[in-house]
Structure 1
Amino acid sequence: MTVLDAFNAGADGCEHHGARLLASLAGGRVYALPDAPSGAATRVSKAAAGIRPFCWVDGPRTEPSQLSDIENQARQGR
């Protein structure tokens, strides 16, 4: 996987770590590398939506920027 930030700086990694990184980026994008299995980029995007940004930081998480996309959608009743 290649994960790009909003400025097109990127990092390559596995699906697991790509999802962790993507969850913590505003405006990030993911692309499968040429040897990646079919559907890898979609799996990373879906996984990132359910992971809290910077999940390795402890503390109460109540602000929208500290919650996953799925948690924020649930709070908005979507």
Structure 2
Amino acid sequence: MTVLDAHNAGADGCEHHGARMLASLDGGRVYALPDAPAGAAIRVFKAADGTRPFCWIDGPRTDPSQLNHAENRARHRR
């Protein structure tokens, strides 16, 4: 996987770490590498939606920037 930020800086990695990185970026994008299995980019995109960003931050996670996209959507539906 290649994960790009909003300024097109990127890094290559596996699906697991690509999802964590994408979850931690604002305006990030993911692209499959040429040898990636079919559907890899969409799996990373979907996994990032439910993955909390910044896993190295301890303590209660209450700020929207510390929650995943799915949690933030659920908060706004209430």
TM-score bracket, shorter-length normalisation? over 0.9
Moved over 6 A (4+): none
Once the two structures are superposed, residues 10-69 of structure 1 have per-residue CA deviations (whole angstroms, 9 ceiling, x without a partner) of: 100000000010000011000000000000000000000111110221111111111000
Using structure 1 for the length normalisation, give the TM-score: 0.95
How many residue pairs get aligned? The number is: 78
Point out the more displaced range, 54-63 or 39-48: 54-63
Partner-residue secondary structure (3-state), 2:3: strand
Q: 1:52 corresponds to which residue?
A: 52
TM-score normalised by structure 2 residue count:
0.95
The answer to whether 1:42 aligns with 2:42 is yes
RMSD, aligned CA: 1.1
Amino acid in the other structure paired with 2:71? E
Percent identity between matched residues is 79
The amino acid of 2:77's aligned partner reads G
CA distance in 2, matches of 1:40, 1:77: 30
SS of 1:3's partner is strand
